[in-house]
Amino acid sequence: MSWMWLIYLFIGYLLGSIPFALVIGKFFYHTDVRQYGSGNLGGTNAGRVLGKKAGVATIVLDVLKVVAAVAFVTLVFEAREAGIWAGVAAAFGHCYPLFAHFKGGKAAATLVGFLLATAIFTFHDAWFVLIPLLAFFVTLFFFKMVSLSSICMALVSSLYITLMQDNIMIMIASWLLSLLVIYRHRANIQRILHHEESKITWL
C-alpha cells in the first residue's frame, strides 16, 4: 500500500467527520443535540430533538458527505478501489468525528451514502443500492425498528457485493463497514433482545 492510500483515507475521514447534526442544531436551533435524546450525532436523533426538517436535512447531508468522499478519490485520483476505502473511512469519521470529540452517529445514513456512491462511481449498477434499501424498508415495514432495518441493510449490502463481484479488497471494505454498523447498534441489539427497542408509529 502506497503513501497515497493514507491521503485517500484521510480525505474520507475528514469529510465523514463533519458533524452535520451538530452544525444544524447549533446554527439554526441553538441546540446541542448531544445533550438530548440518545445523544448521537445522527439524523434519527436530530429529527427526534430538532424536528422532521432538521432530521431529514441531517440524513441527506450525512449521505452526501460519503458520496463526496468516494467521488473525490475515485474521479480526482482515478483510484476506484481506493474510493471504496475512502467511503469506509468517511463512515468511521461519522462515527468517531475529529470535530466532535470522536462521538458521532451510528453509520446508517453513511452506509446509504457508501452504497449510493459505489453504485454510481464503482459498480455503475443501481442494484447495489436498491437491493439493500429494499431490505431496509421491508424490515422496517414488518418490525417497525430503524435499528434492525439498518443492520439488515448492512448485511444484505455486503452479501450482495460479495456475490456480485470478485474484488477481495472491496469485499473486505464492505464487510468492515457492515461490522461497524452492527457494532454501533450494539445497545439497540440488546434492547431488541429484551423487547425494549423503540418502534416507529408512522408506518
- Write out pLDDT tens, residues 160-195: 999 999 999 999 999 999 999 999 999 999 999 999
Arithmetic mean of pLDDT, 33-40: 89
- The per-residue pLDDT for 38 is 84
- Write out pLDDT tens, residues 45-96: 999 899 999 999 999 999 999 999 999 999 988 878 899 999 999 999 999 9
- The per-residue pLDDT for 201 is 76
Say how far apart CA 39 and CA 18 lie, in whole Å: 16
Question: Could you give the 3-state DSSP secondary structure of residue 19?
Answer: coil
The reported pTM is: 0.92
Say how far apart CA 126 and CA 15 lie, in whole Å: 24
Arithmetic mean of pLDDT, 122-149: 96
Say how far apart CA 44 and CA 187 lie, in whole Å: 15
Arithmetic mean of pLDDT, 33-39: 89
DSSP per residue over 99-150, as a string?
GGTT----SHHHHHHHHHHHHHHTS--THHHHHHHHHHHHHHHHH--HHHHH
Query: Is the per-residue pLDDT at 15 higher than 80?
Result: yes
Residue 117's CB is within 10 A of a number of other CB atoms, namely 27
C-alpha cell at 23: 452544525
Q: Are 128 and 118 in contact (CB under 8 A)?
A: yes
| pLDDT band, residue 203 (cuts 50/70/90) | low
pLDDT-above-70 percentage for the chain: 99
Q: Are 84 and 95 in contact (CB under 8 A)?
A: no
Query: Is the per-residue pLDDT at 1 higher than 60?
Result: no
Q: What is the helix, strand, coil percentage profile of the chain, to 5?
A: 75, 0, 25
Arithmetic mean of pLDDT, 146-153: 95
- The per-residue pLDDT for 96 is 96
Looking at every residue in the chain, the average pLDDT score rounds to 93
- Write out pLDDT tens, residues 104-133: 999 999 999 999 999 999 999 999 999 999
Query: Is the per-residue pLDDT at 202 higher than 80?
Result: no
- The per-residue pLDDT for 136 is 97
